[in-house]
Homo-oligomer: A and B are copies of this chain.
Amino acid sequence: MGVGDVSKRILLGRKLRSAQLGETLLPKRIALPVFASDALSSVAYAPDEVFIMLAVAGVTQYVWSWKIAIAVALVMAAVIASYRQTVHAYPSGGGDYEVAKVNLGRNAGITVGSALLVDYVLTVAVSISSGSQYAAAAIPALQHHEVTVATVAVVLLMAVNLRGIRESGRVFAVPTYLFMFAIFVMCGFGFVELAFGTLPQVESADLDITPEPGWDEPLTTFGLMILLARAFSSGCAALTGVEAISNGVPAFRRPKSRNAATTLLLLGLIAITMIVSVIVLAKQMGIRYVDPHHLDRLTRDGEPVGPGYDQHTVIAQIARAVFHDFSPGFYFTVTVTGIILVLAANTAFNGFPVLGSILAKDGLAPRALGARGDRLAYSNGIVFLAVMAIALIWIFDAQTTRLIQLYIVGVFVSFNLSQLGMIRHWTRALQTERDPAQRRRMVRARVINAIGLGFTAVVLVVVLLTKFTQGAWITVLAMALFFTVMRAIRAHYESVEAELAADEEDKVLPTRVHAIVLVSKLHKPTLRALAFAKATRPNALEGVYVSVDDAETDRLLAEWDQRNTGVPLRVLHSPYREVVKPIVEYAAAIRRANPRGVVAVYIPEYVVGRWWEQLLHNQTALRLKGRLLFSPGVMVISVPFQLRSSEIARERGEREESRVRPGDLRRGRVAERSGRKPQP
């Protein structure tokens, strides 16, 4: 069998696998939970934030709650409609980043990239903080230990992702559908009871809320506007995560774009229904909810409830009241909510490598991130995410309310640039499109994106105005930092590329090859290196031995003669026991003597399998290779000799290569663990 056949089989093998890929892609019913867990999980904290903000001016302002819910729902509808256009126009999965880069230029792309990086960190911090509050609602012993719970959760997520867990559609599907089920059942029950007039009150209904200083009634019109703007912008936390589907189009089954758009529509309907239902129900059930740092503003009969009061999340309070005589219902709701929040955080761990590889492809991140399987790069990214998230959790005391202030800016920066990019996209497309039906569709799409831009621009302005001093400045600063780093990386790659651009001179062949084989002993690895070196038929070939001990040198010389290798052995004396320097200098001297030639340094290398064996071998070879790289006109040839123990490491390496990496699923890369295993 010739090399050609073998390589063709490899190629065909690959092609087959590539063709099979379709079978492993996600159907809508699996794609929805995989990509929607982040967006849906925000139902767990967005209503709370609305009530907290309104509570600033006392409980009477809760009358605005359902209007704010409607406003948030409107924005979400506009954004979903916009992204349905994106999904059709950019099916490659670059999402906001690609839209901004292609239509608005590189800097807009980098800005979106920075915003997304910040978002991933905040997704982890916010979701896990909120999740730890749900855990505390279900398990009273965890109360007041939310920071510890959240930290442990992030560390566990990190460990699981470092280990390389299969991001399975099933793992997402079951809890996400259970979460939808729980929320819909809870709200359904609630509305039925509301219709029958038997709706119970939540546990905090008998409390009153002291307005914050300066927010006593009656509010001025301006004051009211500020209050509503703040409540609205906090409520927009519900929109975080809706962009995920636009990044994941390649993972959908064909027709990818249409399926993604349908899934997006479904996601929008579900999310809007949930958020409006929860807010309306909570208001009807007399919720009283304040910033957990200002629990003393909650009063019962004019007296503060004191530090002993445990304020439970809005969904927990509703669930407790609705399922008042069926406590499994309460525990079920709270548990699945906690699980979906953890899944949402895991989303960030899976999305981060995908974003990294997209940025790497454009030279904005280390190129190694672009290739699959660079475990080190993956690991560093995952640890980075976890450390940043834990830092935020500690700084902000695992208080979702305070983290939310940082969260929404990044999300809406990418929303805005993405919508703006889409408008530009359609405008460009209209310049060349002649088919009237297509043109109509494009014009309609442009209108939808313009409406989306209108809404998201207003939200961004409101968010910046109301939240900048509350913490959004941190996000802006972090984005500026990421922006600068990415620009610097890009500039570096460009300057290297310019330095490396090929010109005609580079085709000149070296006139001669002078090969030297490093000899430390006359054993199998050395003999193999000599044989390999001879096989390349260099113009000159010699063994080189660094002598640090006369007796040993004599022994080697005798053995060399006796072996009759046919290769001369040059001995470099090194009275100071240096090994690297004499060789580097010798190679440089050969090169100087023949500047148009090339020096080929053959290094026999032991290949061992255990980490401690590594410490015992090859250290000098490693150091030598590192130094020789700096000598012009020298190439370094490793001639490996596999010791028996190397088998261990080879197998480990193969396991490593075939291991599932975070983000594989959302690139459509991994077969679901199912009966239909892809054929090898």
Q: Which residues of A contact B (CB under 8 A)?
A: 1-3, 5-7, 9-11, 14-15, 17-18, 21, 357, 361, 366-368, 370-374, 376-377, 489, 492-493, 496-497, 499-503, 506-510, 512-514, 521-528, 531-532, 534-538, 540, 548-549, 563, 565, 570, 572-582, 585-586, 589-590, 592-594, 598, 600, 602, 605-608, 613, 615-617, 619-620, 623, 625-632, 634-644, 646, 649-650, 653, 657, 669
Contact = CB atoms under 8 A, between A and B. Distances in A.
A607 B589 contact: no
Number of this chain's copies in the complex: 2
Contacts of A507: 527, 531, 565
Contacts of A522: 502
A524 B3 CA distance: 28
A577 B372 contact: yes
B500 A14 contact: no
Contacts of A9: 589
Given A3-B589, A589-B3, A598-B535, A607 B578 contact: no
A9 B592 CA distance: 13
Given A582-B14, A613-B492, A669-B576, A500 B523 contact: yes
A602 to B, nearest CB: 8
- Lowest 9 A-B CB distances belong to which pairs? A368-B619, A6-B589, A506-B527, A630-B650, A18-B575, A500-B523, A629-B640, A372-B577, A510-B535
A620 B367 contact: yes
A14 B583 CA distance: 13
B589 A496 contact: no
A205 B405 CA distance: 72
Given A509-B535, A638-B635, A18 B528 contact: no
A44 B643 CA distance: 53
A445 to B, nearest CB: 26
Contacts of A7: 570, 572, 586, 589-590
A650 B357 CA distance: 31
B613 A540 contact: no
A336 B10 CA distance: 75
A591 B258 CA distance: 47
A528 B506 contact: yes
B536 A578 contact: no
B619 A575 contact: no
Contact of A357 (B502, B538, B577, B605): B577
A524 to B, nearest CB: 5
B640 A638 contact: no
A557 to B, nearest CB: 15
Given A18-B575, A501-B523, A593-B1, A637 B640 contact: no
B641 A625 contact: no
Contacts of A565: 507
Nearest to A15: B573
Nearest to A513: B535
Contacts of A607: 629-630
Contacts of A532: 510, 513, 598, 600, 635
Given A508-B531, A536-B600, 18 more contacts: A3-B589, A5-B593, A7-B589, A10-B585, A361-B549, A366-B615, A371-B577, A373-B579, A489-B616, A496-B617, A500-B523, A500-B525, A532-B598, A605-B629, A607-B629, A625-B638, A630-B653, A636-B640
